[in-house]
Amino acid sequence: MRLDKFLKLTRIIKRRTVAKDISAAGKVIVDKKTVKPSYLVKVGDVLELYLADFIVIVKVLSVDEKVIRGNPENSYTIIGKHLNAN
């Protein structure tokens, strides 16, 4: 599943266009690399999201669209949420 779609369906980010803009701006990191909105999210990926004042670290538990639509909160786990020092 595409990164922008995953972020929208799981409700980590409210709108897909915002998710697309954030990832296109280089504010989403997977394995110490910035990723584009078209990045294919896999189970086990750890996403670092640089959102305004916070850095949110999320681990992907499911990429099945039916599971995500049924209960989006069970598709990921928040590993950490820190204030952005920059």
Identify the H or E element spanning 16. Answer: helix 16-24
Q: How many domains does the chain have?
A: 1
pLDDT-based confidence at 86, cuts 50/70/90? low
> pTM higher than 0.85, yes or no?
yes
Identify the H or E element spanning 24. Answer: helix 16-24
Mind listing the pLDDT tens digit for each residue in 16-72?
A: 999 999 999 999 999 999 999 999 999 999 999 998 889 999 999 999 999 999 999
Under a CB-based contact definition with an 8 Å cutoff, are residues 12 and 72 in contact? no
Local structure of 18: helix, strand or coil = helix
Look at residue 84 in the predicted model and tell me its pLDDT.
80
Pair of tokens at residue 1: 């599943």
Look at residue 85 in the predicted model and tell me its pLDDT.
73
Residue with tokens 């959102």: 51
Under a CB-based contact definition with an 8 Å cutoff, are residues 35 and 27 in contact? no
pLDDT-based confidence at 12, cuts 50/70/90? very high
Domain boundaries, position 71: 3-83
CATH of the domain at 39: 3.10.290.10
